[in-house]
């Protein structure tokens, strides 16, 4: 009797940029299918396993959130370098989402409202000081969707995408099948 070779598990990395972490919550909402997923993949660099740095090259990277600061750009650029396939997950990654509402006005006006002219400024920041600690990420002029920063291979729409959509996409990508999005993914009746 000969031993049957077990196919190597695919390696997945995930990250959250300027967003609400809802897409990761939707991933967790695949519920008991998480046990099936763990049979198919290993996680690397993800808030799900608390691995902070890439320890190996990854087959699939899932990115939620857009880029609102220089740290987001750095993380996204590293993901592109370390992930063979990169998937923008959710509206923030695809179009900037709610964080991109600040794109409707100049950054200076946003900062002035938050730190100088807002209704609670007198109590919480009477000197009207803008944060300027070197450890704080530098805000970009606007919030950028991921595809404006790096090349993205697939887009999973939704706010957040449904657990079923994420499951179907992961199974397709892990098994090497074409990622097909159903009509219901884009049409809400």
Q: Which domains does the chain have, with CATH numbers?
A: 10-103+142-184 (3.40.50.700)
pLDDT tens digits along 178-189? 877 776 666 655
Q: Above 80 in pLDDT, residue 1? A: no
pTM check: above 0.85 = yes
Closest Cα to residue 46, out of 63, 67, 69, 33? Answer: 63
Task: Report helix angle 33-40 to 163-175, nearest 10.
Answer: 20
User: What pLDDT score was predicted for residue 178?
Assistant: 80
């Amino acid at each position: 009797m000969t031993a049957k070779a077990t196919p190597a598990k695919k390696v997945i990395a995930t990250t959250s940029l300027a967003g609400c972490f809802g897409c990761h919550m939707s991933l967790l909402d695949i519920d008991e299918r998480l046990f099936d997923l763990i049979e198919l993949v290993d996680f690397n660099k993800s808030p799900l396993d608390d691995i902070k740095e890439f320890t190996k090259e990854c087959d699939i990277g899932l990115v939620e959130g857009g880029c609102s600061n220089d740290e987001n750009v750095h993380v996204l650029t590293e993901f592109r370098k370390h992930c063979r396939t990169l998937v923008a997950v959710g509206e923030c990654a695809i179009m900037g989402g709610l964080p991109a509402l600040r794109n409707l006005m100049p950054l200076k006006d946003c900062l002035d409202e938050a730190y100088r002219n807002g209704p609670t400024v007198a109590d919480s920041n009477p000197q009207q000081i803008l944060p300027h600690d070197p450890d704080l990420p530098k805000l970009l002029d606007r919030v950028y969707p991921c595809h404006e920063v790096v090349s993205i291979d697939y887009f999973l729409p939704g706010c957040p995408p449904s657990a079923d959509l994420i499951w179907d996409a992961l199974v397709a990508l892990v098994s090497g099948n074409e990622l097909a999005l159903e009509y219901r993914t884009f049409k809400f009746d």
